[in-house]
Amino acid sequence: MQKKSAGQLKFDELRSQYPFLEYKGYEAVVQAGNLKVIYNFSLSGQHDFHPSFSIPARKFFVRTIDESILRTPEFDLLAFHIGMIELVSYWKSACPPKVIIRQHSLCQYQVDWWKKVYFNGLGEFFYTNGISSSIDDFMEIESEGEPIEKFKVQLTDSVIVPIGGGKDSIVTLEMLRNEFNVRPFILNPRGATLETVFTAKFGRNDIIEVNRTIDPELLRLNEQGYLNGHTPFSAMLAFYSLLVSWLTGIRNIALSNESSANESTVKGINVNHQYSKSYEFEKDFRDYTRSHISDDFNYFSFLRPLNELQIAGLFADHVRYYPVFKSCNVGSKTDTWCGSCAKCLFAWIILSPFIPPDEMVHIFGKNLYEDPQLLGFLKQLTGVDDVKPFECVGTIDEVNAALMMYIRKLRGKWPVLPDYYSNTNKFNEYGSFHTESLLKQFNEEHFLEKEFLDIIQRRLSCKNW
């Protein structure tokens, strides 16, 4: 018999100790014009969690933030679903075999849909903790209360653009702002996200903000050694975006997830750090929204036809954002590039063919190609190793193509990492690789309506790579 991993033993032990997680409901209040929602979760009656979120009122909201909207079925439906996705973070602490939903009853389609989101969205969590389970066995969902009924709503053709602080949402914002009335949306504002919208000449009161909190009890359990790991943040963003769409009366929600997000993180198995950024999730979410929430929302990824290499080339044109954009998770709290992680190295590689080396050093604080300590990440990013970094990074082909483009452009002495790369089998494998094919690539799996598709195609037709 194969020996169980420490994570599997912990998984089995906690599931025995905590047989269920209960979603009891939520409370909603209006305080000084701000909307606040507090959830009520219970882990087998032994630990209670009360995560919350708040939304500051804005003059451009079509729905007044007051007590009356809290009693509408539309608000109830949207707030309930946010609770369903927030529940993921609390479920993973002990992975109880049963989830009990008190507020609304779910049909079989919904139960299956939520189990898929949890299972695939926690694929990295299971993999990194050494947990073996199946979508049939890992969770049972029971529900009670009133069934959920979808609603109709009148919405305008303006566009909500979620801003993450990195290059992708900047490209979306800049491509759409001249064609549509655009409203930036930030979930938990921080330095890079705010500086991005300020650089785009939006004031603080021009943007949609959602501030969410994690219950300290969950953090305490994590410190005590309960299970922890990656959760599907973009799935959470998706459900919050429906609520802000309803509050603002804006139909279109334009994400910035590219085709590269579809590639599995672990070679040969379906474990994708970016699952909730993938086309598969986008399709599933749109289907679920239309069948059980409303037909009137238009959630889509504007950059889905493009890959990371193309997006990097488009971003390079927006010089004014160089000092403010950040994609480093390690440095997110200090609003810096740490210069020592896989995410920093990927951002450096993908941008290096398009931005001059001196400017790159100014952005990142050093030349990452000259840091031999990043060699391990280079092997992961280029496919020398079987597992890519568990970060939002591009495909193996895109990384190799960017390196080839950089080496061709340099035409001289190469820094440490490109020098290593030029002497590997990967360099030989990609020696005849046509980067032009990636730069001209157009992914047909997308949900862009014609007016959005035309914007991208016009921009690409003007781009001289």
How sure is the predictor about 179, in pLDDT bands with cuts at 50, 70 and 90?
very high
Task: Taking residues 344-372, report their average pLDDT.
Answer: 95
pLDDT of residue 42: 98
pLDDT in tens, 187-245: 999 999 999 999 999 999 999 999 999 999 999 999 999 999 999 999 999 999 999 99
pLDDT of residue 386: 83
| Of the candidates 313, 298, 336, the residue with the CA atom closest to the CA atom of residue 448 | 298
Centre a 10 Å sphere on the Cβ of residue 14 and count the other Cβ atoms it contains. 18
pLDDT of residue 427: 62
pLDDT at position 43 over 70: yes
Task: Taking residues 387-409, report their average pLDDT.
Answer: 88
pLDDT of residue 425: 65
How sure is the predictor about 465, in pLDDT bands with cuts at 50, 70 and 90?
confident
pLDDT of residue 384: 85
pTM: 0.95
Between CA 53 and CA 69 the distance in angstroms is 16
pLDDT of residue 215: 98
pLDDT in tens, 96-110: 999 999 999 999 999
pLDDT of residue 267: 75
Between CA 279 and CA 444 the distance in angstroms is 11
Tell me the CB-side half-sphere exposure of residue 206, using CA atoms within 13 A. 14
pLDDT at position 276 over 90: yes
Task: Taking residues 335-353, report their average pLDDT.
Answer: 95
Q: Please report, in angstroms and rounded to a whole number, the separation of the first and last CA atoms in the chain.
A: 56
pLDDT of residue 408: 80
pLDDT in tens, 295-327: 999 999 999 999 999 999 999 999 999 999 999
pLDDT at position 121 over 90: yes
Between CA 296 and CA 153 the distance in angstroms is 6
pLDDT at position 413 over 70: no
379 or 240, which is more confident: 240
pLDDT of residue 265: 80
C-alpha distance from residue 68 to each of 32, 77, 146 (Å): 15, 15, 21
pLDDT at position 37 over 90: yes
Q: Where are the domains of the chain?
A: 6-301, 331-441
Q: Are 428 and 384 in contact (CB under 8 A)?
A: no
